[in-house]
Amino acid sequence: MAYPLYTVAQLRAIEHAASSTLAPGTLMTRAGKAAADYALELLGASGDDLRGAPVLVLAGPGNNGGDALEVAANLAEAGVNATVLHLPGDGNDDASSETAAAYERARSGTVGWLDMLPPDGQWALVVDGLFGIGLTRALAGEYRDVVAGLDDVRCPILALDVPSGLDADTGAVIGPDGIAVRATHTITFIADKPGLHTADGRDHAGVVRVDTLGVDAAATPTTAAMNGLPAFAHCFTARRQNSHKGSFGDVAVIGGAHGMAGAPVLAARGALYAGAGRVYVAALNTPPGYDSSQPEIMFRAADDLDLFGRTLVLGPGMGDSVDAMRLVAKALDSDCPLVLDADALNLVGASPDLQARLAQRSAPSVLTPHPLEAARMLGMTVSVVQADRLASARELAQRMHAVVILKGSGTVIADPDGAVLINPTGNAGLATAGSGDVLAGICGALLAQGWPGKEAAAAAAWLHGAAADALVEDGVGPIGLTAGELPAAVRKVLNAQVRAAAQAAD
């Protein structure tokens, strides 16, 4: 599996196994060296230039604090003006022998020491080594005060292993009223963690770098990974010259109740630009004659459309009428590949009968809920879904026997077999009306072209986010980016990847 992600429990076992073959303190020494090297890189200076770079190192009571003390000692030896704010806890009872040794090393050098965070400190870099992956309760007392004080710091912040206060498994800030360091960079040790890439993780971890510390985690199996080209690039194929529109499948978007005609049109444009051969909008309300921007899209009344042989995208602007429920039931009973989005998800979530029909399907089914829609389908609150996005996506996929794209920061793609991917592409510009409709259309287009459900979902999420990233890079957004701008950007990214795959195959 490419770009694997490991839970805290898995990492504890990997670290324990590695430590049994190494001299005591080896991993801490390696972590301190790797993080100090990264800090020097972020400072962008060398030699005498470093002497004018004041660096604040926050060191907590455990092994993460020991890593931080090693960083401080290494920086001081490199000529950096390193100062430690040491918060060892009551009696320093939590300190391991390795952390105690790191403390003595830092004390014996030229490291400076503080008792409290100065209100007007001018730092070139702050290193967060308060707490690592072992934290299980919300930051409180002096720890909370120090983290809150970092809001006033105007310099890069480098977190060691995981930003203090962030759950490494889930990406949630720990505690109902928790607080976490908002780092600009994180160097994480041994292997990558899912919590750095979803929920609050992307806002708090910043740029993530992995340093294995010389430990090979690959022998430990894991069911989580970062989404990316290795997950679906084998499905990219150049188009044959001897082909026609029927070669690339039909997509029918079913939705468009009164007052919501725009949603299925956006989904249809997403499908068209992602390569579907023919695209229909099957409207519950009286359909428009045509789309003046994309006249290639064909419009039908929902009851007049033959479902046979088409890939169906159900839900954009569908509403919750009796007719909408009847159409969802009809689609679930078909052998068509399905994408269920928006109102279709709400209808299924409210009906045990529709849920049973969905779970019994043998044709590919992909669900694209946002957290509220997922919460409705799972019978829980949004806060519970967001507290563990990976577990929520897994449960929904297994319960509905479908591939799930749980949208949000660090979109999670889950298989019924329990495997999950976290998508790294995308930005805040996607938080706009209609963005999800476009995603559903892209997914439908890939299914129509014969992609398996898992690969179609992974690629759709990745392309959707990559298109938004490309638009922002070109100065379009994130503020004010609109869903209607996404389809053409998706087409550009998709064609670039197909060309790259073709070149790699030659």
pLDDT bin (cut points 50, 70, 90) of residue 307 is confident
Report the alpha-carbon distance of residue 368 to residue 274 in Å, rounded.
17
Q: Are residues 427 and 305 in the same domain?
A: yes
| Strand ranges across the sheet with 420-422 | 4-5, 224-226, 420-422, 412-414, 403-406, 365-367, 338-340, 311-314, 250-255, 278-283, 298-301
Domain range for 315 is 240-505
Cis, peptide link before residue 452, omega less than 30° from 0: no
Residue 235 belongs to some domain of the structure: no
Q: Are residues 74 and 141 in the same domain?
A: yes
Residue 232 belongs to some domain of the structure: no
Rg (the chain; Cα; Å):
26
Do 481 and 263 touch, CB atoms closer than 8 A? no
Residue 234 belongs to some domain of the structure: no
Report the alpha-carbon distance of residue 278 to residue 272 in Å, rounded.
7
Q: Which residue has the tokens 């070669």?
A: 247
448's tokens: 């129509």
Do 264 and 317 touch, CB atoms closer than 8 A? yes
Q: What is the pTM of this model?
A: 0.95
Report the alpha-carbon distance of residue 82 to residue 60 in Å, rounded.
16
Q: What is the pLDDT of residues 158-191, one digit of tens each?
A: 999 999 999 999 999 999 999 999 999 999 999 9
CATH number, domain containing residue 151: 3.40.50.10260
Q: For residue 421, which of 452, 459, 447, 451 has the smallest C-alpha distance? A: 459
Do 294 and 271 touch, CB atoms closer than 8 A? no
Binding site per annotation, positions: 63-67, 128, 132-138, 143, 161, 164, 263, 317, 370, 407-411, 436-437
pLDDT at 31: 98
Q: Are residues 351 and 271 in the same domain?
A: yes
Report the alpha-carbon distance of residue 334 to residue 326 in Å, rounded.
13
CATH number, domain containing residue 330: 3.40.1190.20
Q: Are residues 247 and 169 in the same domain?
A: no
Q: Are residues 245 and 222 in the same domain?
A: no
Query: Residue 306: is its pLDDT beyond 90?
Result: no
Q: Are residues 63 and 198 in the same domain?
A: yes
The structural domain count of the chain equals 2
pLDDT at 204: 98
Binding site per annotation, positions for K(+): 64, 128, 164
Q: What is the pLDDT of residues 198-255, one digit of tens each?
A: 999 999 999 999 999 999 999 999 999 999 999 999 999 999 999 999 999 999 999 9
Binding site per annotation, positions for (6S)-NADPHX: 63-67, 132-138, 143, 161, 263, 317, 370, 437
Query: Residue 95: is its pLDDT beyond 80?
Result: no
pLDDT at 1: 44
Binding site per annotation, positions for AMP: 407-411, 436
Report the alpha-carbon distance of residue 60 to residue 486 in Å, rounded.
45
Q: Are residues 204 and 249 in the same domain?
A: no
DSSP states along 421-443? EE-----GGG-STTHHHHHHHHH
pLDDT at 291: 87
Report the alpha-carbon distance of residue 124 to residue 122 in Å, rounded.
7
pLDDT bin (cut points 50, 70, 90) of residue 2 is low
Q: Are residues 253 and 131 in the same domain?
A: no
pLDDT bin (cut points 50, 70, 90) of residue 51 is low
Query: Residue 49: is its pLDDT beyond 90?
Result: no
Q: Are residues 323 and 439 in the same domain?
A: yes
Do 285 and 257 touch, CB atoms closer than 8 A? yes
Q: Are residues 121 and 50 in the same domain?
A: yes
Q: What is the pLDDT of residues 323-377, one digit of tens each?
A: 999 999 999 999 999 999 999 999 999 999 999 999 999 999 999 999 999 999 9
